[in-house]
C-alpha cells in the first residue's frame, strides 16, 4: 500500500534545477559576439575558395586557351625584325664614269626602354653625331614608338665605330644601329639635274633616279634575330632570314666630260648676257643619244640645302616657251616640201603687214624689198616668212607641225616632259597664223626643237631622244623608235643649204667654225607679259640651234638664254660647245 507524501513534488533540489536550466540555455542560445566571429570565419573561407577558383581558371585560360597570344608576346620581347636594305644600282656615264653610287652607312636609333643614363647618352650622341644634348633628350623622351626612335640616319661607318666604342667604354645602353646606304654623287653639280636625287629612304625623287627608280632600288630583305639583355642583339641569333636583292646598274648616254664643258659654256655665256636662266642640249641626231643637257640654275645633289627651287629639273625638257625665229625653219621646210617656193623664189616684203588690228614687223628696221626665201631665212624676216606661208596656206604648216612632232612629247626618258601648246587649226586667226610662222603664239621645248633640227641633220629620219644607254650587268640595250618624217631629198638639201647661209651670210655668223659647214638658225623671241598683256619691251628669249653638216658627226646643238635685255645672241655659246665637241670626238669634214 502506497504511502502518501506530504503533497510536494519529488525531484532534485531547486538549486540543481536552476543550474541545469542555465546549462541548456548556454548551448542553444549563443551570445551575440560569438555569432559574429563565426560568420566572419565563414566569409573568409568562402572568399578564399572563390579566389582560388578564379586564379585557377585564369591559369587554365592563359596556359591552355590563350597560350598562342601570350607566347607571341613573350617572343616579341626577345625577338626583333631587322631590315636588310638592298644596295641601289650605280649610274654610269657612257664611258663608265660613276655618276651616282651607294655608300654603306648606319642609321643610329634608340630604344628608350633601355636608356638608363639619358643625360650621359645624349652628351655622347651630340659629341659624335652633332646637334645638341637637348635635341636628343627630346627625341628619346618623346619617341615615335615605345621602343624605337631614329637619332640620325646615314651616318658614316667611321663615326659609328667611334660612337660605339665610346658608349661601350662608359657602359651606356639603349643606342643601336641598323644597316643603311647613302647616295653619293662624285661629280657634284655636273650632270646633277640629269642624274637626280634620292630621299633619305633611298627612293628616287628627281631625274634618272626617279625615272628608273624601280630598276635601281632592288628589293629589301630582313631577318628575325634574338635580342638579349637590354635589347642587345645576340650573336648568331638569326631565326629567319630573307636576302636583299640589289638594284640594277644603268649606263646613261651622257658624256660627263662633255657635260662639264656644256655646263661651263652655258654658265659663262649667260653671265655675259646677264641671264640667270638658260638651257643647252647636245644630241646625236643619228641615234637620239643625249650627250649633254642642262638648264640654269644647276643643282648639286650632294648639297640640296643650298639648291635653288628651280634647279632640280631640266627646263629644256620640262618647260615650253615661245621659240621665236628658230621656228622659221619649220615654215621654210614646209614651203620647200609643198613646192610652194624654192630657195630662190621671190616675194615682195613691205616694212610691215597688218592683220586683225595687229601689225607684224621685223625685229630690225628695214625698207620694203623683194626677198628670196633664202634671204628671208638669212635675215630672219617676220614679214617675209608670214607672207610666204600665207601664199601657201596655213593648213600645210599646221599639218607639218604635227608631223614633225612639235606638238607632242619627244618620249625622252626623263620625268615631267612638257609637250608644248598649239591651238587647233579651227581656232587660228590670220594674226595667229602669221605669228606661228615665226615662232610666236606657239610653245615648244628646247628638246623638241633639238629633235626637229636633228631630223634635218639625219636626212629626214627622226630619232627618239633618250638618256638610258644600257644595263651593264646584262648588256641589255633598250630599243628606241625611229621614224622617217621627210622623204623629199631635194627639200632636205635645200633647207640645209639655207641654214648654212644663215651662218655664212646672215644673222648667225658669230658661230661659224673654220673648215666646217655649220648649219644653224638664230632667234630673238618676244616674251609674253602676263600682267600687262601683249609682249614685254626690249626683253627677249634668245636661241641658236644647228649642226655641222658634211662631217663625221651628226651632233646637233641647241642653246638658249632667257629674259635677256636687248637684241643679242647665244651663237658664241653654240660655237664654244661645238668646238669642244670637234676636239673631243675628233670630228672631221667629209
Q: Which grid coordinates are listed for 42?
A: 565563414
Please report, for the chain, how many H helices and E strands are present, in that order: 19, 20
Cell of 532: 600687262
- Which pLDDT tens digit goes with each residue over 113-156? 899 999 999 999 999 999 999 999 999 998 877 888 999 999 99
Rg (CA), the chain: 44
CA distance 381 to 363: 8
Measuring CA to CA, how many Å separate 533 from each of 39, 443, 528? 102, 17, 7
In angstroms, the CA 186 to CA 194 distance is 14
**Of the given ranges (70-79, 182-191, 394-403, 571-580), which has the lowest mean pLDDT?**
70-79
User: Residue 31: pLDDT above 90?
Assistant: no
**Distance, CA of 236 to CA of 253 (rounded, Å):** 46
State how far the alpha carbon of 286 is from the alpha carbons of 289, 291, 459, 575, in Å.
8, 12, 9, 21
H or E element that contains 431: helix 430-437
d(CA 578, CA 255): 14
278: nearest Cα among 289, 287, 268: 268
Cβ-contact 89, 249 below 8 angstroms: yes
Burial of residue 12, with CB atoms counted within 10 A of its CB: 0-12 exposed, 13-18 middle, 19 or more buried:
exposed
Segment 351-384, tens digit of pLDDT: 999 999 999 999 889 999 999 999 999 999 999 9
Q: Where in the chain is the domain with CATH 3.30.70.2110?
A: 104-184
What is the grid cell recorded at 263?
655646263
Beta-strand ranges (E) seen in 144-246 are 149-155, 175-184, 221-227, 233-242
Place of cell 659609328: 160
As its CATH architecture, domain 256-584 has: 3-Layer(aba) Sandwich (3.40)
* pTM as predicted: 0.84
**Mean pLDDT throughout 507-519?**
97
Please give the Cα distance from 285 to 348 (Å, whole number). Answer: 36
What is the DSSP secondary-structure string of 448-505? Answer: HHHHHHHHHHTTTEEE--B-EEEBTTTTB-----EEE----HHHHHHHHHHHHHHHHT
Q: What are 562-587's pLDDT values in tens digits?
A: 999 988 999 999 999 999 999 999 99
pLDDT of 158 > 90? The answer is: yes
Beta pairing, strands 175-184 & 98-110 = antiparallel
CA atoms 132, 135, 141, 144: torsion sign: negative
Domain with CATH 3.40.710.10 in the chain: 256-584
pLDDT for position 18: 40
**Mean pLDDT (whole number) for 525-532:** 90
pLDDT tens track for 224-237: 767 665 556 665 55
Interval 318-334 mean pLDDT? 97
CA distances from 239 to 78, 228, 314 (A): 11, 14, 48
pLDDT digits (tens, 9 = 90+) for 410-422: 999 999 999 999 9
Residue indicated by cell numbers 608576346:
73
Q: What is the mean pLDDT of residues 191-196?
A: 98
Q: How far is 420 from 318, CA to CA, in rounded Å?
A: 9
Q: Specify the DSSP element, H or E, that contains 472.
A: none
Q: What is the CATH number of domain 104-184?
A: 3.30.70.2110
| Pairwise CA distance, residues 279 & 311, whole Å | 12
Rounded distance, CA 545 to CA 556, Å?
Answer: 8
Amino acid at each position: 500500500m502506497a504511502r502518501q507524501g506530504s503533497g510536494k513534488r519529488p525531484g532534485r533540489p531547486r538549486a540543481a534545477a536552476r543550474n541545469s536550466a542555465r546549462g541548456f540555455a548556454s548551448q542553444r542560445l549563443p551570445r551575440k559576439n560569438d555569432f559574429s566571429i563565426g560568420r566572419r570565419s565563414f566569409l573568409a573561407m568562402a572568399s578564399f575558395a572563390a579566389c582560388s577558383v578564379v586564379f585557377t581558371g585564369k591559369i587554365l585560360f592563359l596556359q591552355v586557351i590563350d597560350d598562342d597570344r601570350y607566347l607571341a608576346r613573350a617572343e616579341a620581347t626577345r625577338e626583333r625584325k631587322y631590315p636588310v636594305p638592298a644596295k641601289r644600282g650605280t649610274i654610269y656615264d657612257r664611258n663608265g664614269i660613276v655618276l651616282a653610287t651607294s655608300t654603306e652607312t648606319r642609321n643610329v636609333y634608340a630604344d628608350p626602354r633601355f636608356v638608363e643614363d639619358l643625360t650621359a647618352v645624349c652628351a655622347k650622341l651630340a659629341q659624335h653625331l652633332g646637334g645638341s644634348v637637348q635635341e636628343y633628350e627630346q627625341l628619346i623622351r618623346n619617341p615615335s614608338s615605345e621602343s624605337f626612335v631614329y637619332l640620325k640616319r646615314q651616318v658614316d661607318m667611321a663615326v659609328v665605330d667611334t660612337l660605339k666604342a665610346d658608349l661601350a667604354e662608359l657602359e651606356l645602353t639603349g643606342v643601336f644601329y641598323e644597316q643603311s646606304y647613302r647616295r653619293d654623287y662624285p661629280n657634284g653639280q655636273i650632270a646633277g639635274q640629269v642624274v637626280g636625287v634620292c630621299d633619305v629612304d633611298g627612293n628616287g625623287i628627281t631625274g634618272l633616279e626617279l625615272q628608273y627608280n624601280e630598276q635601281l632600288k632592288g628589293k629589301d630583305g630582313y631577318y628575325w634575330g634574338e635580342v638579349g639583355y637590354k635589347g642587345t642583339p645576340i650573336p648568331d641569333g638569326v631565326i629567319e632570314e630573307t636576302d636583299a636583292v640589289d638594284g640594277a646598274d644603268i649606263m646613261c648616254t651622257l658624256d660627263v666630260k662633255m657635260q662639264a664643258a656644256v655646263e661651263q659654256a652655258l654658265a659663262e655665256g649667260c653671265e655675259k648676257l646677264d641671264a640667270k636662266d638658260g638651257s643647252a642640249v647636245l644630241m646625236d641626231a643619228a641615234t637620239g643619244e643625249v650627250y649633254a643637257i642642262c638648264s640654269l640654275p644647276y643643282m648639286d645633289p650632294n648639297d640640296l640645302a643650298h639648291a635653288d627651287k628651280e634647279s632640280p629639273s631640266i627646263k629644256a625638257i620640262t618647260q615650253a616657251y615661245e621659240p621665236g625665229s628658230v621656228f622659221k625653219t619649220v615654215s621654210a621646210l614646209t614651203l620647200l616640201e609643198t613646192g610652194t617656193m624654192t630657195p630662190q623664189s621671190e616675194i615682195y616684203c613691205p616694212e610691215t603687214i597688218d592683220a586683225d588690228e595687229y601689225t607684224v614687223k621685223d625685229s630690225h628696221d628695214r625698207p620694203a624689198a623683194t626677198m628670196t626665201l633664202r634671204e628671208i631665212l638669212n635675215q630672219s624676216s617676220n614679214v617675209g616668212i608670214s607672207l610666204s606661208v600665207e601664199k601657201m596656206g596655213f593648213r600645210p604648216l599646221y599639218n607639218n607641225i604635227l608631223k614633225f612632232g612639235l606638238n607632242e612629247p619627244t618620249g625622252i626618258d626623263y620625268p615631267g616632259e612638257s609637250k608644248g601648246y598649239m591651238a587647233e587649226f579651227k581656232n587660228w586667226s590670220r594674226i595667229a597664223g602669221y605669228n606661228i610662222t615665226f615662232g610666236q603664239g606657239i610653245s615648244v621645248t628646247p628638246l623638241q626643237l633639238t629633235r626637229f633640227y636633228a631630223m634635218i641633220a639625219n636626212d629626214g629620219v627622226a630619232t627618239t631622244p633618250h638618256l638610258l644607254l644600257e644595263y651593264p650587268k646584262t648588256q641589255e640595250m633598250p630599243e628606241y623608235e625611229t621614224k622617217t618624217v621627210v622623204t623629199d631629198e631635194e627639200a632636205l638639201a635645200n633647207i640645209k643649204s639655207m641654214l648654212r647661209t644663215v651662218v655664212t651670210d646672215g644673222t648667225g655668223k658669230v658661230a661659224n667654225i673654220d673648215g666646217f659647214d655649220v648649219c644653224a638658225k638664230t632667234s630673238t623671241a618676244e616674251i609674253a607679259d602676263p600682267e600687262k598683256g601683249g609682249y614685254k619691251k626690249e626683253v627677249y628669249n634668245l636661241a641658236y640651234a644647228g649642226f655641222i653638216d658634211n662631217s663625221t658627226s651628226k651632233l646637233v646643238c641647241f642653246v638658249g638664254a632667257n629674259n635677256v635685255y636687248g637684241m643679242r645672241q647665244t651663237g658664241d655659246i653654240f660655237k664654244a660647245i661645238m668646238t669642244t665637241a670637234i676636239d673631243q670626238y675628233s670630228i672631221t669634214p667629209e
